């Protein structure tokens, strides 16, 4: 196999196929630039039996790609065993079982009143002594307080965003990047406050000192999109941290 090239999808679930490296492989295959696709074991291709089945039985045939899974002794050049669809099913069950276990752990943690969010909202930070506790992040908190003060004076989110932009106040993303907190990259245009960002801050009950869990849910372990829950399904624990 001449001209080998290595692709890595570390940190991405095999349930989804919107993985950067996998998408690049398919794009190259569509251009006729992939002759062989070799993986360590079959589950590395993916853990969704429907998509994996389509790839092996239709897409790889159409694209003339030879697929090899070393540990599972799969080589499409020799034909596909009737056992392979069962392997796909077990691979998906493994992903579902793992998802169910994580969901139960998060359910237990959330019902105990602990924060479920990975990162505290703008204005808070994790306590160095206890990562489960939030403490006030003073520079960010000054901005949050100003937003609420301007709102109380009678201005709406759009007007507040314009004022913050005019005053060259860093957005949450810009501020987090300035203190090396992991988040998305800062936008190309600095101080880009928008009404949605302001509204999101004004809507957060966490700024009252409460913990709010189970705001969102997902329809399936295969779907990463989060859906808003009705407020009556939220779990609210009052006075769990200092007011921002």
Q: What is the CATH number of the domain that holds 66?
A: 3.40.50.1390
- Residues paired with 69 in a beta bridge: 39, 74
Same domain, 90 and 117: no
Distance CA 174, CA 154 (A): 27
Tell whether 91 is covered by a domain. yes
Q: Do residues 204 and 126 both lie within one domain?
A: yes
Report the distance separating Cα 163 and Cα 168, nearest Å. 9
Tell me: do 35 and 115 sit in the same domain: no
- The average confidence (pLDDT) of the chain is 91
pLDDT tops 70 at residue 228: yes
The whole domain housing 132 covers 109-237
Q: What are the distances in angstroms from CA 49 to CA 57, 61, 95? A: 12, 17, 11
Same domain, 70 and 138: no
Q: Please check whether residues 40 and 119 belong to one and the same domain.
A: no
Q: Which domain-ending residue is among 56, 77, 97?
A: 97
pLDDT surpasses 70 at 244:
no
For residue 216, pLDDT over 80 is answered with yes
**Considering the domain boundaries, does residue 6 fall inside one?**
no
Residue 212 belongs to a domain: yes
Give residue 12's pLDDT.
Answer: 84
Give the closest residue to 196 by CA, choosing from 222, 158, 224.
158
Together in a domain, 152 and 80 = no
d(CA 215, CA 233): 8
Residues 86 and 123 in one domain: no
Report which of 214, 13, 219, 204 is spatially closest to residue 109, judged by C-alpha positions.
214
Provide the CA 204 distance to its chain's centre, in angstroms.
20
How confident is the model over 114-171, as pLDDT tens digits?
A: 999 888 999 999 999 988 899 999 999 999 999 999 999 999 999 999 999 999 999 9
Listed residues 48, 76, 97: the one ending a domain: 97
In this structure, the answer to whether residues 166 and 48 fall within a common structural domain is no
pLDDT of 195 reads 95
Choose between 220 and 97: higher pLDDT. Answer: 97
Instruction: Give the pair of three-digit tokens for residue 199.
Output: 């509204």
Extract the tokens encoding 121.
Answer: 């909202």
On whether both 56 and 162 belong to a single domain, the answer is no
Look at residue 99 and tell me whether its pLDDT is greater than 70. yes
> 242: pLDDT confidence band, cut at 50, 70 and 90?
confident
Three-state secondary structure call for residue 183:
coil
Residue 207, SS3?
A: helix
pLDDT over 70 at 176, yes or no: yes
- Same domain (yes/no): 231, 127: yes
Between 120 and 222, the more confident residue is 120
Instruction: Please state, in angstroms and rounded to a whole number, the distance separating the CA atoms of residues 138 and 120.
Output: 13
Whether residue 63 is predicted with pLDDT greater than 80 in this model: the reply is yes
Q: Is the pTM of this model over 0.75?
A: no
Q: How many domains does the chain have?
A: 2
Q: Is residue 134 part of a domain?
A: yes
Give the number of residues written for the chain: 244
């Amino acid at each position: 196999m001449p001209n080998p090239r290595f692709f890595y999808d570390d940190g991405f679930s095999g349930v989804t196929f919107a993985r950067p490296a996998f998408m690049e492989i398919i794009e190259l295959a569509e251009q006729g630039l992939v002759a062989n696709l070799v993986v360590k074991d079959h589950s590395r291709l993916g853990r969704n039996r429907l998509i994996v089945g389509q790839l092996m039985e239709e897409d790889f045939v159409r694209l003339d790609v030879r697929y090899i899974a070393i540990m599972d002794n799969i080589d499409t050049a020799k034909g596909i065993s009737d056992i392979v669809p069962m392997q796909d099913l077990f691979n998906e069950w493994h992903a579902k079982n793992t998802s169910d276990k994580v969901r139960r752990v998060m359910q237990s943690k959330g019902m105990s009143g602990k924060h479920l969010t990975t990162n505290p909202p703008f204005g808070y930070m994790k306590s160095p002594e206890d990562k489960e506790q939030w403490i006030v992040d003073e520079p960010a908190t000054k901005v949050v307080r100003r937003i609420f003060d301007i709102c109380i004076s009678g201005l709406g989110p759009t007007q507040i965003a314009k004022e913050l932009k005019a005053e060259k106040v860093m957005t949450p993303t810009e501020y987090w990047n300035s203190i090396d907190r992991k988040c998305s990259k800062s936008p190309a245009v600095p101080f880009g406050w928008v009404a949605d960002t302001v509204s999101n801050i004004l809507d957060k009950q966490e700024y009252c000192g409460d913990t709010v869990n189970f705001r969102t849910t997902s329809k399936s372990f295969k779907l990463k999109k989060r859906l808003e829950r009705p407020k009556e399904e939220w779990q609210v624990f009052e006075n769990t941290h200092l007011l921002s």
